[in-house]
Amino acid sequence: MRLTQWTDYSLRVLMYCAATENRPTPPTISEIAQAHGISRSHLTKIAMTLAANGWLETTRGRGGGLRLLKPADQIVLGTVVRQTETDFNLVECFDASLNTCRLDGLCLLKRTLKEAMAQYLAVLDGVTLADLVTPGQPPLGGQVISFSPRA
Residue 14 inside a domain? The answer is: yes
Q: What confidence score (pLDDT) does residue 60 get?
A: 87
Residue 79 inside a domain? The answer is: yes
Residue 141's pLDDT band (cuts 50, 70, 90): very low
Residue 140 inside a domain? The answer is: no
Question: How many whole angstroms separate alpha carbon 31 and alpha carbon 69?
Answer: 19
Residue 146 inside a domain? The answer is: no
Give me the CATH number covering residue 24. Answer: 1.10.10.10
Range of lowest pLDDT (27-41, 55-69, 80-94): 80-94
Secondary structure E strands in 26-140: 56-59, 65-68
Into how many domains does the chain fold? Answer: 1
Residue 142 inside a domain? The answer is: no
Tell me the average pLDDT of the chain. Answer: 84
Average pLDDT over residues 52-65: 89
Domain residue limits at 115 = 5-132
